[in-house]
Amino acid sequence: MAHAVEIRDLHKSFGSLEVLKGIDFDVEPGQVVCVIGPSGSGKSTLLRCVNLLEQPTAGTVVVEGVELTHRDVDIDAARRRVGMVFQQFNLFPHMTVLQNVMIAQRRVLKRGKAEAERIARENLDRVGLSEKAASYPAQLSGGQQQRVAIARALAMSPSLMLFDEPTSALDPELVGDVLTVMRKLAEEGMTMLVVTHEMAFAREVADRVVFMDGGVIVEDGPPAQVIGAPRHERTKSFLRRVLDPTHTDV
C-alpha cells in the first residue's frame, strides 16, 4: 500500500538559517501522527512544506503518489486533497459560518450552491455547530471558530488533514471541544499530521509520535515509547519541562 505522505531528504532554509536538515518521514493511510518538540524545532515548517505553503530548499514531498515538489506538478489540484487547520482561524468576518464553509467549495471545487450548502451543513454537524450556521465569527468563541475552520477544511473532501497547533490560541477551557472533534476524525480513519503541545491528546489518539529538535527527527515511535519511555536524553528533557512546567534541569 502506498504511503499517504512520503518525505525524503527534506531541507528548508530561510536565508542562512537551515530550519529542516534532511527529514525522512512517512505517514500511512489512516494514521494519526503527532509531531512534538520545542519552539523553533521545525515542526510547523515541516507541516507547511507538506502542502507547499513553504517551498522546500531540497528534497521531495509525495502525497498520495503525487510528487508535490516536481516542477511540473499541478499544485492547486494536488492541494485540494490536503486540508489544513492553522493556529489562527482565518475566517471571513463579514460572512456567516455557513458562507465561510461554502466559499472555497464554490470557488475552488466549482460545486453548485445547493451541493456546497448541503456539504457545509453536513460538516458543521460533524463538528457540533449546525445551530451556528447563520452566526458570524465574532459571535463565536475561539473554540467554536476553530471548529468552523475544521469544518471548512473537511468540506473540501480531503484525504489528509494537517493541523498546526490548532489549540494554541485557545483559552484552556475551550481546548477540549476542538480535541474532541479531532479525536472523532481519527476514529473515522482520517489521515492526520498534527503539530501539537497537547501531550494527553498525542498519548491517547496518535498512532505515532515524532519528536523534533533543531531541524531533525530525534525520536519516532508509538506514544507509549516516545512519551512514556523516551530513549533520547533530549526527548526526556523536553517532556520533563512540558509535563512538569515547574521542573528545571540543573
Which H or E run includes 45? Answer: helix 43-50
Grid coordinates belonging to 62: 509525495
Grid coordinates belonging to 84: 489544513
Q: Given pLDDT bands bounded at 50, 70 and 90, which one contains residue 76?
A: confident
**Is the confidence at residue 92, as pLDDT, over 90?**
yes
**Is the confidence at residue 244, as pLDDT, over 80?**
no
Rounded CA separation 11/25 (Å) = 12
Rounded CA separation 90/85 (Å) = 9
Phi first, then psi: give them for residue 43, nearest 5 degrees: -60, -55
The angle at the Cα of 110, spanning 106 to 115, to the nearest 5 degrees, equals 65
SS3 111: coil
Q: Given pLDDT bands bounded at 50, 70 and 90, which one contains residue 169?
A: confident
Grid coordinates belonging to 79: 492541494
Of all residues in the chain, the percent with pLDDT exceeding 70 is 97
The angle at the Cα of 108, spanning 104 to 110, to the nearest 5 degrees, equals 100
- Which residues does residue 5 pair with via DSSP β-bridges, in sequence order? 27, 63
Listing from the earlier edge strand, what are the strands of the sheet with 58-63? 17-27, 5-14, 58-63, 66-67
| R_g over Cα of the chain | 18
Contact 60, 8 (CB under 8 A): yes
pLDDT in tens, 25-48: 999 999 999 999 999 999 999 999
Contact 21, 216 (CB under 8 A): yes
> Taking the model in full, what pTM does it have?
0.93
pLDDT in tens, 110-159: 999 999 999 999 999 999 999 999 999 999 999 999 999 999 999 999 99
pLDDT in tens, 180-209: 999 999 999 999 999 999 999 999 999 999
